């Protein structure tokens, strides 16, 4: 081992930090970097472990350990008496050096992407989460946040028993939560179901996604309300078969079933919001429910009922679900994300028995299952009566904020420029804008001014859009609401005057 005149001069190996310990690991890393960077080349002979140890002032065992690791990794070769060399299998020129930030600046995209990737990227750009300021939807601040009960219950449930850390679980969701949900929707929504039909989801969005996955073949047509929630239209647009989405107009009775039949009688499914049309807020009439059910039955089509906020009805009781009338044809979607808090990400799909295995399998491939601890916490929260109390409490808070907001909008926004869509339910209001106003532009200016609104016209199909703004009811204070309304009113008036882009500020 001592006669090895050809051993390379090692490049500087980077400073060792003796306070960090793991010297052999540090050495391994340095040698690996040197090989990667090309300062050590395939075939290069390394100094003996003894030489290197002495020159670095470290123990020989440390060097031997590093060499062994690099041999195991394939960076080095060791042949009995021939010493240790950089592996000649490393013939490929190493990846270009350059720091990570240089690489980032170049923004290299060496491989190619399918068209759908661009569509996904656009979705990410368009639907950023809003900051918790007026008029973001469902912001659990102040009185709309769950009270101490939720936290204390969580601490208890997570400590031991089934809510404590555990292994993989049922893709369908935790059994006790499914039972609690079944009982809750039977009681409050006249949904006809058993716990075996409930599938716990990571929010309604996952329910919509699963329904598309399971129910639709690649070219099946599907009815979607016009206007509709972006969460469903963007899924269908991203599939590579956007032509399969048939937009069906809504009027004051909800989705126009006759128009749907005229457009695509043979559609495989219809996505609807019968309790509270999104975003406009009307209830689907009994006649339309009837017609929709008949069409679905006759054409062996599915109805996906998105019942996203029926807990918040301010007059009368919530409408009974469509599912209760046609339990074999309806996939019913609900969520606790809005009524409790969005960051919880807990919702549910209630599906006919025949669909349960397919939903579970699709779910398994997508992410196996929803995290379990909060499923157990929520199940206790429902069973111990806290959910009902929480809903009663926030219903009165939202009712209060809502009438405040309506009052202030009526006061500050000129009637000819903006007026409210009637509705008596939910966590948002729609403010229509005068013909010709650009709601998207207005929304982006409002955001710059610290006010969150969503433009309504992009929720319509191409060419049918009317300008409007969707204003969410958070748990904001009256002072916050008033300040935001006044700023918004200023922007609207400015746009009303100029007919286009308002000046900044």
What's the min distance (Å) between Cβ of 194 and a second copy? 6
Whether the link from the prior residue into 25 is cis, omega within 30° of 0, is no
What's the min distance (Å) between Cβ of 189 and a second copy? 12
CB-nearer residue toward a second copy: 48 or 275: 275
For residue 343, give Cα distances in angstroms to 155, 338, 339, 372, 381: 17, 9, 11, 15, 17
CB-nearer residue toward a second copy: 75 or 278: 75
Residue 271 and residue 248: Cα distance in Å, rounded? 10
CB-nearer residue toward a second copy: 109 or 479: 109
Strand partners, 76: 86
CB-nearer residue toward a second copy: 201 or 277: 201
The SS3 of residue 304 is strand
CB-nearer residue toward a second copy: 111 or 503: 111
CB-nearer residue toward a second copy: 158 or 393: 158
The SS3 of residue 199 is strand
What's the min distance (Å) between Cβ of 350 and a second copy? 12
Residue 319 tokens, joined: 């409408």
CB-nearer residue toward a second copy: 187 or 501: 187
What's the min distance (Å) between Cβ of 284 and a second copy? 9
Residue 387, Cβ density class (10 Å: 0-12 exposed, 13-18 middle, ≥19 buried) = buried
Sign (positive or negative) of CA dihedral 408, 409, 415, 421: negative
Residue 210 and residue 57: Cα distance in Å, rounded? 61
What's the min distance (Å) between Cβ of 454 and a second copy? 13
CB-nearer residue toward a second copy: 2 or 91: 91
Contact 71, 84 (CB under 8 A): yes
Q: What single DSSP character describes residue 45? A: B
Among residues 160, 17, 144, the alpha carbon closest in space to that of 398 is found at 144
What's the min distance (Å) between Cβ of 501 and a second copy? 27
What's the min distance (Å) between Cβ of 504 and a second copy? 27
Residue 218 tokens, joined: 């690649």
Rounded to 5 degrees, what angle do the CA atoms 90, 94, 96 make? 180
What's the min distance (Å) between Cβ of 65 and a second copy? 8
The helix (run of H) or strand (run of E) holding residue 126 is helix 115-126
Contact 176, 296 (CB under 8 A): no
CA diameter of the chain:
97
What's the min distance (Å) between Cβ of 235 and a second copy? 5
Helix 386-412, helix 148-159: angle, nearest 10? 140
Residues 6+ apart with CB under 8 A from 292: 255, 257, 270, 272, 284, 303, 322
Whether the link from the prior residue into 168 is cis, omega within 30° of 0, is no
What's the min distance (Å) between Cβ of 393 and a second copy? 14
What's the min distance (Å) between Cβ of 174 and a second copy? 10
CB-nearer residue toward a second copy: 291 or 489: 291
CB-nearer residue toward a second copy: 223 or 359: 359
Residue 47 tokens, joined: 């100094």
H-state helical runs in 127-203: 148-159, 175-189
Phi, psi of 365 (to 5 degrees): -75, -25
What's the min distance (Å) between Cβ of 392 and a second copy? 12
Residues 6+ apart with CB under 8 A from 398: 144, 312, 314, 427, 473
Residue 38 tokens, joined: 């090309």
CB-nearer residue toward a second copy: 129 or 503: 129
Taking the CB of residue 505, how many other CB atoms lie within 10 A of it? Answer: 10
CB-nearer residue toward a second copy: 2 or 101: 101
């Amino acid at each position: 081992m001592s006669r090895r005149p050809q051993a390379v001069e090692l490049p500087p190996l980077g400073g060792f930090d003796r306070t960090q310990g793991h010297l052999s690991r540090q050495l391994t890393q340095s040698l690996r970097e040197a090989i990667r960077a090309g300062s050590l080349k395939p075939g290069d002979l390394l100094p003996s472990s003894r030489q290197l140890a002495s020159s670095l002032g470290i123990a020989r065992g440390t060097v031997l350990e590093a060499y062994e690791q690099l041999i195991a990794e394939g960076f080095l070769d060791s042949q009995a008496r021939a010493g240790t060399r950089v592996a000649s299998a490393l013939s490929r020129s190493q990846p270009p050096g350059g720091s990570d930030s240089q690489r980032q600046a170049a923004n290299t995209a060496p491989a190619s992407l399918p068209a759908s990737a661009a569509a996904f990227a656009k979705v990410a750009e368009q639907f950023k989460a809003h900051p918790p300021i007026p008029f973001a939807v469902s912001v659990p601040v102040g009185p709309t946040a769950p009270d101490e009960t939720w936290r204390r219950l969580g601490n208890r449930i997570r400590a031991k028993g089934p809510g404590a850390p555990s292994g993989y679980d049922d893709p369908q969701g935790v059994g006790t939560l499914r039972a609690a949900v079944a009982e809750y929707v039977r009681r409050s929504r006249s949904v006809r179901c058993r716990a075996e039909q409930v599938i716990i989801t990571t929010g309604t969005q996952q329910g919509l996604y699963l329904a598309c996955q399971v129910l639709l073949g690649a070219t099946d047509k599907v009815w979607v309300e016009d206007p509709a929630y972006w969460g469903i239209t963007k899924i269908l647009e991203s599939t590579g078969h956007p032509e399969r989405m048939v937009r069906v107009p809504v009027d004051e009775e909800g989705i126009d079933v006759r128009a749907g039949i005229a457009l695509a009688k043979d559609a495989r499914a219809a996505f609807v919001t019968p309790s509270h049309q999104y975003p406009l807020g009307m209830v689907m009439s009994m006649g339309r429910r009837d017609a929709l059910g008949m069409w679905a039955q006759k054409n062996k089509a599915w109805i996906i009922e998105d019942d996203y906020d029926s807990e918040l009805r301010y007059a009368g009781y919530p409408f009974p679900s469509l599912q209760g009338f046609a339990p074999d044809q309806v996939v019913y979607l609900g969520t606790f994300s809005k009524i409790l808090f969005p960051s919880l990400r807990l919702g549910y799909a209630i599906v006919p028995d025949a669909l349960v295995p397919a939903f579970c399998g699709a779910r398994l491939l997508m992410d196996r299952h929803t995290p379990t601890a909060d499923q157990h916490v929520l199940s206790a929260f429902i069973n111990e009566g806290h959910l009902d109390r929480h809903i009663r409490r926030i219903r009165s808070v939202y009712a209060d904020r809502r009438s405040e907001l309506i009052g202030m909008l009526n006061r500050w926004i000129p009637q000819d420029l903006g007026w409210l869509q009637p509705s008596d339910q939910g966590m948002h209001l729609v403010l229509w804008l005068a013909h010709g106003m650009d709601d998207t532009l207005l929304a982006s200016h409002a955001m710059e001014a610290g006010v969150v609104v969503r433009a309504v016209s992009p929720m319509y199909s191409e060419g049918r859009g009317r300008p409007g703004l969707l204003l969410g009811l958070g748990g904001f204070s009256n002072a916050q609401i008033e300040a935001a309304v006044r700023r918004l009113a200023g922007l609207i008036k400015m746009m009303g005057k100029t007919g286009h882009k308002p000046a900044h500020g």
